[in-house]
Each structure stands twice: as structure tokens, then as C-alpha cells.
Structure 1
């Protein structure tokens, strides 16, 4: 597939105004053609203006029209699945087969959101009819629906170059809500980003929508991203990445004359608590499965199970040895970027300096950006004394925390910051302890898993990918699953309206046949 390297602002391809970059193939450490354009504040201004111009018409498209648009995007993504996966594999070092699956998942998300739009439940339609005879004061007719918050700026992620990138869940949920999208592509995979952007732009044209419904920008450094967050026509931001990067955007958004919501998915170690009966009965299989899931994506997954907590006693040595055996047989694999590779080494050094002991290593690295797996161990007392041990190390490393008893396990759980997920491995005899752990974990995570692992995660109506800070900046919302659409909606009440002036979904005859609340019923 021919790549131009241009920016996409509405229907226009725009050349560089702030220089260019070239993608790096991390497996060979070589640059890849072509050069890709970088933009700045002028391009942000053009994209934001177009998005604002598109908002009124796009946010008022019929549910059928919007659903058809989302499905057209899905069809276009399917049509480019193989070249998209091939380019993403070149730019990330991840296996092409895995990325073809990720591309299929991205298309599926757009189709899922199309169904969400058709059903119309996301509108949260509510009607409180007038009560003219009510005393001591009559009640006017009140009708409520949710609508899009406004143009949304979305920052593509590095670790999932398709499913969390240009055509990821943030874009799908924002477009489903009726919000035009300005996408800041991640510089680690610019070619894959262009292929996805073309698929979305083609759907905009095919469906006859305003060109400002979608734009894709790219910038060097932080200036373009900061300009996006600060632009007065941008009304919300979605970000997946580091705590440092996410909080910089969050603080900048709150200092605007008009503060806006910033939905950041940031950092998590996704702890696994192996309760005593589970350790005794299934220690080896739990340890093996934990390391197998930890190594997915070379440990570069936001849901990577990074910390395993187990009580000393029967079965612990079998668990430990299974972890060691699985890890020692794992090959060093290419990490996403040289910067991520360097940060991985620094993170390991920080854990070792804080008192963790390296108890196993994978095969040594053979190339510059290879990440060699590592298993570290520390006792519960040391873990509680050194907060750095609870920090995320982005890469193929895990930490085994051995605690003296169940009280120390509870203390470890209480010490943790907000998480995207937490896991309990348990048997029937562990239920009393599990009941004590649950309230602690409910306060610290958005998803609790029993007798499985934190990764992978289903994309469904009930799935949650979010949690208390620093897992995310707003634990009331999710960035994965069908309810992710809620981030980009706000309620509007129509009071005393004549029927013909109401939005179609709120009219008396319910012409769309949508579910509605009537006087709370």
C-alpha cells in the first residue's frame, strides 16, 4: 500500500510544516520509508475548526446513519487488514499474525458500537410528563436525552498499534457518541496510523458526512498535543499511556479558561493474589499461567499481570519453580521502541535497588531492542517498606511477593494504589479470606477476576477498563467496552417543548421505538 506520509485534516492531505520523521523498525534498528509529516498549532487550528463545523450536523445524524458509518469503517478496516498488520509488524516488532487479530478486533469494536447506536440505550431517554393539576404547583413536561459533548482529541497509544490507536476503541466510542475526532497519531507507528486514517476518511466520504468528522495529526515533541488540549473548540480528551504523560495533559486541561474532561488510562500492575488453598492445590499451574500471560506483547500490555502475592506454606515452592521454569524458557523479543526498551532496563534497576532479588532470567538479548524476561522476588515486609516495588515496569518482568500470613497479604492489598484490574486465585476453603479481600480490592480497581488472569479482557457491555487513580483519571468511566461511549456524552433536558420541536427520540409517539423511562418506570 502506497503511503504519502501526509497529515489528514478533514478531506485534505497536508504536507509537513514542522519537519518530518521516519519510522524505526525496532527489530533491525533501521529507519523505514517514507518520511512522515509533522504539524503544529496551525494544523491543530484547522482540524479543530473543521471538527467544530462538523459537530452540529454529525451529532444530529440519525441513529441508522451513524451506525451505518461505523459499519463502513469496519468494512474498510477489514479490507486493509493484511497490509495494515504487515506495516504495524514492521514498525513494532510484534508478530504479524497477532496484529491481524488486533485489526479484526478493531473492526469488531466498530460493529459493536454500531449496534449500541442502533439500540439507542446510550441516549438514556427519560420523560416526566406535565402534571397541570398538581398542587401546590403544576409540573411542566420534562424530557431528557444525552448528546455528544463536542469535538474530542484522542491520543493514540504505543503498545497496541491498532486496537488502541487511530482505529481503536476511543475513536469508535467517540464517533458512536456523535463526537468528531481529532486523532494525534503515535510516532512509533506512523505508517499503520496512515492506513487506518485512510479507512476512516474513506468512510466519511462514502457516507456523505462533513469532512471535519475525522482528522489525523502528528507532531514532534509535546507542542502539538498541548495545542490540542488547550484549543477552545476541543471539549474532551482521551489518552492511553504513562502516568507522567497523562497527568501533564490532565493538568493542562484543568488550567484552560474552560476546563474539560481528560480521560486517561495510565499505569497498573494488575496484582494477582493467590490464596492459601489455591496455592496448595494449584500452585504450579497458577505460576505457569501467570508468567505465560505476563509475557504477552513482550510484557508491554496495560493489563499485564506484574505482581503475584502468595502466602508462605505448602505449594509456594511449586508455584515459584513453575514461574522460574516458564520464564527461563522465554526468548528475548523485540520491544516496541528504543525508548521503551531503555525504560524497561531502568525500571528493573529500580526494583533491584529497592531490595528485590532476581530469581530467574529468560534468554539473553541478541539485538539492540530485545527485552530479556526477568522474575524478581521480595518478601511482604520489604514490599510494604519500599513503595517503588509496587510501581509498573513496562516490559517482560514480574515480581513475586511472598507474605508471612493472610494479615500481611491484606496489608499488601491495602498498600496498593488504583489498578485497572486485580485477580484472586482461590478454592472453596479460601472464601472467608476472599470476603475480607474483596472490599479492599473494590476500592482500588475497576475489575476483579477470579481464577483467571487479568489479560486478556473481553470487549462487552459489562467490561471495565479503568479504576481509581493512577490507573485512570476518572474511575467512573471505562475506556474499553460498550459503556466507553459514556465518556463523550452529556445530558440535555427539554422542558415544556411542543412535540414537533423535540428531538425525534423524545416525541410522544416514540417514532424510533427506543426504550424510554416514563416517570421513572
Structure 2
């Protein structure tokens, strides 16, 4: 469908969709999940052919896609996400009376969603951005990713079926194909009220800049990747040397490194035990079977980025293998913290199965490296109980650098839940206050409106005196489920 027609339809549909009840939106989201599941093997096989991802991985991703649709349905059904807040009138207050004030979140309007290449289901057509926008009461215009067009069309068909089954206009979800020019026009269109994007820094920053140049700027929620550093402290490394090497290697290799949470930096101490860690890590990566990457473009960029990084002064290649087209072969390099601190280019993400080991000589140098970090989606801190003071110092720095701070495990694997943050300071994202995973993502597509001294008959049901649904509301500063 032409982008202009799609956005006009989305704007028209928004006028009715924004008035739907929580029950109607809940039913729609659950209906979309059921329609996707009804596609069965056709969807998985199509996605596998287009993305080179194995069926087992895509089966799990389909489950995640449907589960997050149902999670948002549960959120909307419960209703407290709208942050209903009531300050009752104080007519006798001195020196001035207070009027009756009632505030809640309302949907922004049509949202443009750009599909991601590395998650053809969970971050694409009916992925988290679409689910959270529909849950908020926004209509969606989805820009198909060229890496999996047939997969996208199948999911679009499922969404259309769910809209029809629930008596909602097709303009609630519009599907658009095209290149960079179409994407630019979608961002510039006056009907667009927000944009969601998952992909490269170059793509996300270009969309953000374009949105800021509009006559009426709009929010852009771009998740643009990260090097997801792991900081390994000396005592912890001594306690679990081989185990930590295995964990790090498995995380780097997962999905041929094509996760935005792949650990591209490992900070390790200059110590005797580090040699054992490096030996195990190098062996794991050197003997790993290559996996097909998503498409030629990503494979080409991986090897191009790897080549440039390995040219840097002080960087030593430890695992570097020749590769055929599309094969993602693991790579490993090492440098000193002193060299890393001198060269900001060593922080750039190499999207694929690669990590750079950075050797630090003391705690002071490690803290300096943490302070020099750009914004990240995740930071991981592996320390022992005996290293509490150093962990505390690092945590104080790293909490300012990322959206998710891990103290065990690896950053790959993002739980879809109420407490999850998948975001972080620039350049990981364009808005560090948001997340693209988890129920808090709904807040991206809503804005607060206060109704002052409004008649009961004109107030949204969430703000009326009678609390028919038992919604949790803040009344005169205290949470309550009571009616006024």
C-alpha cells in the first residue's frame, strides 16, 4: 500500500480506535496471537528461508511474539498503566482554592514501526513495538523489513484477520513496503505522531534527525545496538575461570552474534589466571562451527567492521578465519586498557560473533574504562563477595551507562516482563527513558492529559468518581481502588 494512503487511513482509524475500551483492545491483542499461531509451520518455514535462522530458534521466537501480545493484553485489561491520578477540589484552601484535577495517559496517534532484520517475528510486524502501540490505543503503519517480506505479509494477514474478527477498521494496522525513500516519507508525514526503530546506529540516527527537522517534531524510539561490555573482576575470575570463559563464548556465538545484546567487550585483569581464561575462550571460538548470517548485507558489514577494528594500533587478532559469503565465523581480538582508552573507535559495535578482550592492570584503570564507555543497552559485572567495594564503585558508574545491569549470567536473552528495560543512554538508543521490551514500552506511545473541573459525564471512565473496574488510582497522593 502507498505510504500516504496508509497514513491517511491510520489517522482516520485512530479517531475510532482511540475510543475503544480496554476490553476491546485486550480482545484484539489476544486475537492477533491466536491468528499468528494458526499460521503454524507455514510461518516458521517461510521465516527460516528468508532469514537463515533455524526452525527451533524461530519456534521460540514465535512463542515470545505471542506471549508478549498476551502480556500487553493482560496489562490493558488490568488498566493501571494509564496512571489515573485525581486531586480533588479544595474550594476553601487559602490563599487560593484548588480546582478538581484529573490526569491520565492517552494515546499519541498513528505510530510508524520499522521492522528489525535479526528478529523477523518478535521485533517485526507483530513484535513488541506494534503490540505496545496497539495496546496504548494507537494505530500502526508498519514498514516491512526487506530481509523477510513474505514472513511480514503472512503476519500482516493474521493481524488483518484479527481486526476483522473484532469489527475494527483495517486502518488500525497498515503494512507498507519500500526502500529508504519510503521510510523517510513515513517519518516526515504530518499524520505520524511517533516512530519506533530497531537496527543500526546509522539508520536510527538518520530517522531521529529527520524527525527533529519536521515542522512539528515527534518522538523517535530507536534502539541502535550496543557492545554490552562484561567486566570481570580478579577474584571472580580466579574462582570460576573456565566456567566464565564458556559463558562468554556461548553468549558471543549465540545466533551468530546477531543479537543486539551480544557481548562485544570483555574487560579482564592482567593476571596469571587470565591466560587460562583466554586459552579456553580462544579454543571455544576457534572451533565453533560457522553459522549463516541473516543476509549478505549483514555478513558483509560484519567482516568489514572486523577488518577495520583489527587495523587499530595495539589490537592483536587471536581468532580470525576466512569465510564464505553469509558465513558468520567467530573472531576474537585483544588489546590493553591503555590502548582502548586512547581510541574511541574500539567502542564501535561489530555486529556478529566477535568480542574484543580489554586487559586492565588495576582497579583504577578499570574504573577509568567504565567512565569512558558510551551508552549501552547492557553492562555485566562479574565479581565475588570479597570484591564488594570495587563492585559498588563500578556499579555507581555503570548504572549511568546502561539500561540493564547484570551481576550474573550473560546479556543475551531479554526477558519480556514488567520489570525489563531494553534501552539505554545514547548511542544505544535515542531516548534513555524508554524500553522496547516489556510492558513499560507502552508508555512510549502515550501522553498525559489533565482534565480540570470536568463534568462527570465528560470524564474518561478511568477518572470518574465511581471506580467501576477497581482500577488502582492515585487519589490525593495515595494509591487506592476506592470510589470517591
Class of the TM-score when normalised by the shorter of the 2 chains: over 0.9
List runs of 5+ in structure 1 lacking aligned partners.
1-6, 8-42
Task: Provide the residue aligned with 1:375 in structure 2.
Answer: 332
Task: Provide the residue aligned with 1:148 in structure 2.
Answer: 107
SS in 1 for 2:392: helix
Residues 39-96 of structure 1: per-residue CA shift (max 9 Å, x gap): xxxx111111111111121111111111011000011111114211111110111101
SS in 1 for 2:240: helix
**Does the 8 A contact of 1:156 with 1:186 survive in 2?**
yes
Task: Provide the residue aligned with 1:259 in structure 2.
Answer: 217
**Does the 8 A contact of 1:81 with 1:104 survive in 2?**
no
Report the count of equivalent residues.
477
Task: Provide the residue aligned with 2:260 in structure 1.
Answer: 302
Residues 209-246 of structure 1: per-residue CA shift (max 9 Å, x gap): 122100110102x1100100000011000001111111
Task: Provide the residue aligned with 1:326 in structure 2.
Answer: 284
State yes or no: 1:118 paired with 2:80. Answer: no
**Does the 8 A contact of 1:284 with 1:321 survive in 2?**
no
In the alignment, which of 68, 73, 87 is matched to residue 128 of structure 1?
87
**Does the 8 A contact of 1:147 with 1:490 survive in 2?**
yes
Distance 1:267 1:107 in 2: 24
TM (normalized to structure 2)?
Answer: 0.97
Task: Provide the residue aligned with 1:430 in structure 2.
Answer: 387
State yes or no: 1:163 paired with 2:90. Answer: no
SS in 1 for 2:380: strand
Deviation for aligned residue 1:135: 2.0
SS in 1 for 2:374: coil
Deviation for aligned residue 1:109: 0.3
Deviation for aligned residue 1:129: 0.9
Distance 2:220 2:389 in 1: 39
Distance 1:260 1:182 in 2: 15
Deviation for aligned residue 1:136: 2.2
**Does the 8 A contact of 1:327 with 1:361 survive in 2?**
no
Deviation for aligned residue 1:255: 0.8
Deviation for aligned residue 1:351: 1.2
Task: Provide the residue aligned with 1:36 in structure 2.
Answer: none
**Does the 8 A contact of 1:51 with 1:180 survive in 2?**
yes
Task: Provide the residue aligned with 1:195 in structure 2.
Answer: 154
In the alignment, which of 139, 153, 165 is matched to residue 206 of structure 1?
165
Task: Provide the residue aligned with 2:197 in structure 1.
Answer: 239
Task: Provide the residue aligned with 1:82 in structure 2.
Answer: 41
Distance 1:510 1:314 in 2: 66
Deviation for aligned residue 1:361: 4.1
Distance 1:83 1:248 in 2: 35
Residues 335-383 of structure 1: per-residue CA shift (max 9 Å, x gap): 1111111111111111111132111246x53x42112111111111111
Task: Provide the residue aligned with 1:472 in structure 2.
Answer: 429
Distance 2:6 2:194 in 1: 15
Alignment map for 1:216-235 (pairs within 5 Å): 216-220=175-179, 222-235=180-193
**Does the 8 A contact of 1:310 with 1:402 survive in 2?**
yes
Distance 1:98 1:114 in 2: 24
**Does the 8 A contact of 1:271 with 1:309 survive in 2?**
yes
Task: Provide the residue aligned with 2:251 in structure 1.
Answer: 293
State yes or no: 1:357 paired with 2:330. Answer: no
State yes or no: 1:386 paired with 2:340. Answer: no
In the alignment, which of 493, 506, 509 is matched to residue 466 of structure 2?
509
**Does the 8 A contact of 1:70 with 1:172 survive in 2?**
yes
Distance 1:138 1:241 in 2: 51
Distance 1:170 1:315 in 2: 44
SS in 1 for 2:251: helix
SS in 1 for 2:450: strand
Task: Provide the residue aligned with 2:377 in structure 1.
Answer: 420
Distance 2:192 2:265 in 1: 38
SS in 2 for 1:295: helix
Residues 142-179 of structure 1: per-residue CA shift (max 9 Å, x gap): 11111101100000001111111111100000000000
SS in 1 for 2:429: coil
TM (normalized to structure 1)?
Answer: 0.90
Task: Provide the residue aligned with 2:417 in structure 1.
Answer: 460
Task: Provide the residue aligned with 1:139 in structure 2.
Answer: 98
